[in-house]
């Protein structure tokens, strides 16, 4: 006789952390457990975070998911989401993609904020969010879904910490007041060929809207975005697969250039 599977947020977290550790992609969890909703998914995210912290990792910030039309179209999900960043996800500038840790890495250029003051929603506006920013930097995020073929629902992706992999931040910090972030452009290159481009306005109209969304969504769950944290505001363009031996670069108008070897 078959025992019915007992699903819970803790079980979802355990499945996805095991998939991450063993570099084994799996099918959508929501396909197996239709009751997996956004609430449970965010709880699974927090359970997984507690596990990461128990292994000695330290929170470095948060990352937005699916904040641009490009990403929403690519993934077939049109609702933004937020997830955790820890120091284990920091890729120091100049190092290659840590391919041995990842399943199927994809790169995406992002605009990132470093906070000088805590931010806690609900009710945080984009202007209030921007006033809490110390510096703006360019970033490349290397995402890595635990779902085969990056096929997932919104709840699946949230439970999977928004496909977190590693991230590298750029070399030219600016004060937010010195830039028009809606107009800050980025060229995405693979092996020297421009394959996509976007400006900051691709991110919810302005990256500060993504920061406000993060503060409000985390705030609804009782979490504060802390001073010193980095906030990745979400991929500006489609994410691109990072072939072995390739070189991916993001060139920003004011925020400098970041190059990552595919490993």
Phi, psi of 69 (to 5 degrees): -60, -35
Q: Which one, of 128, 11, 122, 134, lies nearest residue 61 by Cα?
A: 134
Of 52-60, 94-102, 129-137, 139-147, which part binds ligand OOG (CB under 6 A)?
139-147
Burial class (CB in 10 A: 0-12, 13-18, 19+), 211: buried
CB 260 within 8 A of CB 142: yes
Q: Minimal distance in Å, beta carbon 211 to ligand OOG?
A: 13
Q: Name which position in 71, 104, 223, 251 contacts ligand OOG (CB under 6 A).
A: 71
Of 88-96, 155-163, 167-175, 191-199, which part binds ligand OOG (CB under 6 A)?
155-163
CB 17 within 8 A of CB 51: yes
Task: Give 40 or 154: the residue with its C-beta nearer to ligand OOG.
Answer: 154
Q: Which one, of 144, 143, 141, 140, lies nearest residue 22 by Cα?
A: 144
Helix, strand, coil fractions of the chain, as percent rounded to 5 = 35, 30, 40
What is 211-259 written as a DSSP string?
A: HHHHHHHHHHTTPPBPTT-EEE---SS--EE--TT-EEEEEESSS-EEE
Residues from 8 through 47 that contact ligand OOG (CB under 6 A): none
Residue nearest to ligand OOG (CB): 163
75 makes contact, choosing from Mg ion, ligand OOG, none, with CB < 5 to 8 Å by partner type, with ligand OOG
Task: Give 165 or 176: the residue with its C-beta nearer to Mg ion.
Answer: 165
Task: Give 79 or 178: the residue with its C-beta nearer to Mg ion.
Answer: 79
Does the footprint of ligand OOG cover residue 229 (CB under 6 A)?
Answer: no
Does the footprint of ligand OOG cover residue 143 (CB under 6 A)?
Answer: yes
Does the footprint of ligand OOG cover residue 161 (CB under 6 A)?
Answer: no
User: 3-state DSSP call for residue 128?
Assistant: helix
Task: Give 131 or 185: the residue with its C-beta nearer to ligand OOG.
Answer: 185
Cα gap 17→234, rounded to integer Å: 22
Site string for ligand OOG, 44-63 (x = CB under 6 A): -------------------x
Does the footprint of ligand OOG cover residue 145 (CB under 6 A)?
Answer: yes
Does the footprint of Mg ion cover residue 141 (CB under 5 A)?
Answer: yes
Of 10-18, 85-93, 150-158, 232-240, which part binds Mg ion (CB under 5 A)?
232-240
Alpha-carbon 134 to chain mean position: 20
Q: Which one, of 158, 164, 234, lies nearest residue 202 by Cα?
A: 234
Q: Name which position in 16, 139, 140, 141 contacts ligand OOG (CB under 6 A).
A: 141
Extract the tokens encoding 235.
């991929």
Residues that bind Mg ion (CB under 5 A): 141, 235
Residues that bind ligand OOG (CB under 6 A): 63, 65-66, 71, 75, 108, 141, 143, 145, 150, 157, 162-163, 234-235, 239
């Amino acid at each position: 006789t078959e025992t019915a599977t007992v699903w819970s947020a803790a079980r979802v977290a355990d499945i996805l952390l095991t998939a991450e550790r063993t570099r084994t992609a799996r099918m959508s969890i929501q396909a197996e457990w239709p009751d997996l909703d956004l609430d449970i998914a965010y709880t699974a995210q927090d359970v997984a975070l507690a596990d990461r912290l128990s292994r000695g990792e330290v929170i470095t910030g948060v990352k937005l998911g699916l904040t641009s039309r490009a990403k929403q179209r690519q993934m077939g999900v049109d609702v933004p989401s937020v997830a955790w960043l820890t120091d284990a996800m920091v890729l120091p500038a100049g190092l290659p993609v840590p391919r041995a840790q990842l399943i199927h890495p994809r790169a995406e250029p992002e605009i990132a904020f470093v906070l000088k003051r805590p931010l806690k929603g609900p009710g945080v506006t984009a202007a209030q969010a921007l006033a809490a920013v110390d510096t703006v930097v360019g970033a490349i995020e290397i995402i890595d879904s635990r779902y085969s073929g990056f096929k997932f629902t919104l709840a699946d992706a949230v439970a999977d910490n928004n496909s977190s992999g590693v991230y590298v931040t750029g070399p030219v910090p600016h004060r937010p007041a010195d830039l028009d972030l809606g107009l800050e452009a980025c060229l995405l290159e693979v092996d020297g060929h421009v394959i996509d481009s976007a400006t900051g306005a691709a991110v919810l109209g302005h990256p500060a809207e993504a920061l406000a969304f993060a503060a409000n969504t985390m705030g609804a769950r009782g979490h504060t975005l802390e001073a010193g944290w980095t906030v990745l505001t979400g991929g500006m363009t489609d994410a691109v697969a990072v072939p072995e031996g390739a070189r991916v670069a993001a060139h920003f108008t004011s925020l400098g250039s970041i190059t990552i070897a595919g490993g």
